[in-house]
Amino acid sequence: MKNLLKQYLPYLVGYKRQFFFAVLGMIAVAVGTAGTAHLIKPVLDDVFINKDIEMLKLIPFLLVGVFTLKGLGRYVQTYYTSYIGQDVVRKLRDKLVSHLTYLDMNFFKTIHSGEILSRVTNDISRIQMVVANIIPDLIRETMIIIALTGYVIYESPKLAFYFLIIMPLAIFPLSKLAKKMRKYSKLSQESTADMTSRLGEILSNIEVIKSNSTQVYERERFAKENQNVFKFIMKQVKTNALTSPIMEILGSVAIGIVIYIGGKEVIDGHMTVGAFFAFATALFMLYTPIKRLSGLYNKAQDAITANTRMHELLDTKPTIIAGTKELTNVIETISLQNVSLDYGDIHALKNITLEAKKGESIALVGDSGAGKSSLVNLLVRFYDPKEGKILINGTDNKVFTLTSLHQKIAYVTQRIYIFNDT
C-alpha cells in the first residue's frame, strides 16, 4: 500500500492546479461534515430547551449553508481528482503500449495476446481505481475522520476517550481480512487472464477446432478456467462481505458504552443535552468514513496485484538491442557466416553460410518448416542468431540502428495483417 502511494503520488506533481482545488474541496467536505454535527447543539439547547426564537430563525440558513459547503466541496473534489486519475491512466496506457511495440518478437510468441490485452485493459483499469478513487478518497475520508474526531474531543474529552480506545480494536480483524483479500484478488486476476487467453486460443484456432470436431474438448477446457474465475471471485466477495458486519458490531459496542456514560454525564449535569447529541451525531457520522477507509484498503489490495503485473510488463526489456550507426548506403552485399538459430529447443537454422549481392535474385526453397522465414527474420533482426554473424556491406548488422535497417530492407510477411485505418 505504501509502495503504491509512493509510486503514484509523484504523478500528482504535474497537476498542481487540479490538486489544489481537490484539496480545497476535501477541506470543505470535512469542515461541512463536522459543522453538521455541531448544529445539533444549538437546535436542542437554544431552540428546544431555552426556546430562543432568534436562533430558530437562524438555524435553517446555517443548515443549508453547511450542506451547500459540503456538496460544493464534494463536487469540486470529485471532478478534479477524477481528472488527475484519468489523465495519469491515459499516460500509463500510452507508455505501456509504446513499450510493447519495442519488445522482442520472441516475447509475443511466448506470451498470449489475450494475456497482454488483459494486462493493458483490466489491470490498468484496476490501477485507475487507485489513482482516480482510492488515493483521493483516502485523503478525503481521513480528513473527515480528523475533523469529526477533533470535534468529538472538543465536545467531551472524557466520552471521546472511551470511544477512541475501542476503535483500534477494530483494526486487527480488518487487517486479517485485508490479507485474505489480497490473496484472492491475485488468484482472481490470474484466473481471469487464463480464461481470456484460453478464449484467444479458441478464436485463433477455430479452423482446427471445427475441422477436428473438438468443440466438446475445448468447451471443457474453457469451462474449467471459467469455473476458477467464479470460485476466486466468490471468495473475494465472501471476504469483502465480512468487513461491514464486523465493523458494525464493534461500532454498536462502542456506541452502547457512549450512551451509557454520556447519559450519566447529562443526568449528573456535567453535559448539556445538546452537547451530548452533537457528540453522538459526530460519532455516528464517524462510522461512514471509517467503513469507507476499510473498504478502500481492500480495493487497494486488488490494485496492488494489478500494479505488480503491469510492472512485470514494463520491466520486460528487449534483448535485441539496436546499434547506433545509421545504415545510409545502398546495400551491396549481405553475407551470413556460419549462422545458427534456435527457438528455445527447436533448432531452426544450423551453420548457414550464404552470400548475396546487389542485383541478384535468390529463391530459398524448402519444405514448410525448413527455416526460410527464419533466415529472413534474422536479416531484419526479429531474432539474433545463436551463433555466427550477419554482415551487411561487410558490417555486422547489430551495429546499425533498427530504424535504418528496416528502412533499407523491405519485408513482406506471410501473415496477413489488417490495420483498422485508411
Residues interacting with Mg ion, by CB under 5 A?
373
Q: How far is the CB of 92 from ligand ATP (least distance, A)?
A: 29
Q: Which is nearer to Mg ion, 169 or 364 (CB)?
A: 364
- Tell me if 415 contacts ligand ATP by CB under 6 A: no
Work out what residue 346 binds among Mg ion, ligand ATP, none; the CB cut-off runs from 5 to 8 Å by kind: ligand ATP
Q: Which is nearer to ligand ATP, 14 or 369 (CB)?
A: 369
Residue ranges in 43-134 assigned as alpha helix (H):
53-101, 105-110, 113-118, 124-128
- Out of 57, 91, 95, 109, the only residue in the binding site for ligand ATP (CB under 6 A) is 109
Work out what residue 369 binds among Mg ion, ligand ATP, none; the CB cut-off runs from 5 to 8 Å by kind: ligand ATP
Residue owning grid cell 529463391: 363
Q: Which amino acid is at 417?
A: Y
- Tell me if 107 contacts ligand ATP by CB under 6 A: no
Work out what residue 374 binds among ligand ATP, Mg ion, none; the CB cut-off runs from 5 to 8 Å by kind: ligand ATP
Q: Which is nearer to Mg ion, 226 or 373 (CB)?
A: 373
Answer for the pair 25, 80: CB distance below 8 angstroms, yes or no.
yes
Q: x-or-dash pattern for ligand ATP, window 177-216, by CB under 6 A? A: ----------------------------------------
Q: How far is the CB of 379 from ligand ATP (least distance, A)?
A: 12
Q: How far is the CB of 376 from Mg ion (least distance, A)?
A: 8
- Out of 414, 420, 421, 422, the only residue in the binding site for ligand ATP (CB under 6 A) is 414
Residue closest to 393 by CA, chosen among 356, 367, 345, 347: 356
Work out what residue 101 binds among ligand ATP, Mg ion, none; the CB cut-off runs from 5 to 8 Å by kind: none
Q: Which of residues 57-76 bind ligand ATP (CB under 6 A)?
A: none
Q: How far is the CB of 377 from Mg ion (least distance, A)?
A: 9
Q: Which is nearer to Mg ion, 142 or 373 (CB)?
A: 373
Answer for the pair 73, 26: CB distance below 8 angstroms, yes or no.
yes
Work out what residue 128 binds among Mg ion, ligand ATP, none; the CB cut-off runs from 5 to 8 Å by kind: none
Q: Which is nearer to ligand ATP, 245 or 366 (CB)?
A: 366
Answer for the pair 371, 416: CB distance below 8 angstroms, yes or no.
no
Work out what residue 234 binds among ligand ATP, Mg ion, none; the CB cut-off runs from 5 to 8 Å by kind: none
Q: How far is the CB of 228 from Mg ion (least distance, A)?
A: 37
- Bridging pattern class, strands 395-396 and 346-357: unpaired
DSSP line for 147-173: HHHHHHHHH-HHHHHHHHHHGGGGHHH
What the block records as the C-alpha cell of 140 is 478525503
- Tell me if 321 contacts ligand ATP by CB under 6 A: no
Residue ranges in 102-214 assigned as alpha helix (H):
105-110, 113-118, 124-128, 135-155, 157-166, 171-204, 206-211
Residue owning grid cell 548506403: 329
Q: Which of residues 328-387 bind ligand ATP (CB under 6 A)?
A: 343, 346, 348, 366, 368-374
For residue 186, the number of C-alpha atoms closer than 13 Å in the C-beta half-sphere is 11
Residue ranges in 268-323 assigned as alpha helix (H):
273-315
Residue closest to 133 by CA, chosen among 292, 361, 321, 341: 292
Work out what residue 11 binds among ligand ATP, Mg ion, none; the CB cut-off runs from 5 to 8 Å by kind: none
Q: Tell me the C-alpha distance between 129 and 122, whole Å.
A: 11
Taking each helix axis as running N to C, give the angle between helix 16-42 and helix 273-315, from 0 to 180 degrees, rounded to the nearest 10: 160
DSSP line for 352-383: EEEEEETT--------TTSSHHHHHHHHTTSS
Q: Which is nearer to Mg ion, 308 or 373 (CB)?
A: 373
Q: Which is nearer to ligand ATP, 267 or 365 (CB)?
A: 365
Q: How far is the CB of 144 from ligand ATP (least distance, A)?
A: 56
Work out what residue 343 binds among Mg ion, ligand ATP, none; the CB cut-off runs from 5 to 8 Å by kind: ligand ATP
Contacts of 122 (CB under 8 A, 6+ apart): 189, 192, 193, 306
Name the residues that contact ligand ATP, by CB under 6 A.
109, 343, 346, 348, 366, 368-374, 414
